Structure 1
Amino acid sequence: MSAFVRAARFVGDLDDEFYADELQRDAWNEASAVGFQSLLWIGLVSAAILPYVAGVTGAWIAIGIIVALLTVAYVVIGYARARGIDMYTVQELRRPRLMVGLVLYFLSFGGAGIRLLIHYGGGSFGPVLFGAAIGAPLGLVAGAVGIKRRRRRRHDAELAAEKAELQGFEETD
């Protein structure tokens, strides 16, 4: 067991005897998922609004909220992956719910970035255009690499499933 999984088990108190009962564990896992998703959506909506209604202070708070949410999301994804579940290969990511989330991320970071650039940059949009000229191609490349990696993971998972199925079929003969 890796140090990450041991730390996650400690943080989640997963060795408590409470988890010995399957029904309790399942209900708690579902409740935790609902709580995590609620926190995620509340944070995204708050971070999307703050730069516009609370100025520079709201922009900094929005960035903090988004960084915290992304950290927690990556811990969840990392723990699941460490336990053999890759969410990028077992679920469809092109869903309206995820698109709404992406729009909220864009509003949060976009609003915070513009608010902070206007405040600290003296209102000049030259740096914004320069940043967009560099950031947009880098973002596109990162997105393309991410899509390629996701497709490769999905393909590898399908191959592994086929291999396991064939082994199971051969064992029954």
Structure 2
Amino acid sequence: MSAFVRAARFVGDLDDDFYADELQRDTWNEASAVGFQSLLWIGLASAAILPYAAGVTGAWIAIGIIVALIVVAYVVIGYARARGIDMYTVQELRRPRLAIALALYLLGAGGALVRLLAQGSDASAWTWIGLAFGAAVGATAGVVGVKWHQRRRRNAELAAEKAELQGFEETD
């Protein structure tokens, strides 16, 4: 067992007797997943709002929130990978919820960057904020649009293949 896994087991208190009961462990793991996702969404929403609502101070706080969320996400992914589960191979990553998370991340990170860069600029901060918001929404919409187009095309190809196979079966 690696030092990382030992440390993660200690932090998660995974050797506690509580985990001996299968139902308790499964229920707690699901509850922990809900809690982690809630923390992620609340953090992303907060980081997306802070640079616009709280100025330079909010931009720095947003950067701190985003860094913390990224570290926690990579700890989760790293622990799962160390235990033999690679989420990139067992989970569909092209989902609308991930596009929304990406948009919030871009709004937060982009807004913080723009807010901090606009400090010494002659342009209005709202001009930079509008630029960041438009870029985040536009990039997210573009990615989602391309993915939906690819999915529709793949589904059409699968339907055509299925129809072709049914045609062969009927002639047999």
TM-score scaled by structure 1?
0.70
Q: 1:123 maps to which residue? A: 121
- Matched residue SS, 2:80: helix
1:43 aligns with 2:58: no
AA matched with 1:106: L
AA matched with 1:46: S
Give the Cα separation in 1 of the matches to 2:98 and 2:41.
11
AA matched with 1:71: V
Give the Cα separation in 2 of the matches to 1:2 and 1:61.
33
Q: 1:108 maps to which residue? A: 108
In the TM superposition, what are the counterparts of 1:87-102 in structure 2 within 5 Å?
87-102=87-102
In the TM superposition, what are the counterparts of 1:23-102 in structure 2 within 5 Å?
23-102=23-102
Give the Cα separation in 1 of the matches to 2:118 and 2:83.
45
Q: CA deviation at 1:124?
A: 5.7
RMSD: 1.2
Cα offsets for 1:46-88 (capped at 9, x unmatched): 0000000000000000000000000000000000000000000
Give the Cα separation in 2 of the matches to 1:114 and 1:69.
20
Cα offsets for 1:14-34 (capped at 9, x unmatched): 000000000000000000000
AA matched with 2:121: G
Give the Cα separation in 2 of the matches to 1:123 and 1:59.
16
Give the Cα separation in 2 of the matches to 1:33 and 1:109.
24
Cα offsets for 1:131-172 (capped at 9, x unmatched): xxxxxxxxxxxxxxxxxxxxxxxxxxxxxxxxxxxxxxxxxx
TM-score scaled by structure 2?
0.71
1:15 aligns with 2:23: no
How many aligned residue pairs are there?
Answer: 124
Cα offsets for 1:87-131 (capped at 9, x unmatched): 000011000000000000100010000000011xx1168xx9xxx
- Matched residue SS, 1:61: helix
| Runs of 4+ off more than 4 Å | none
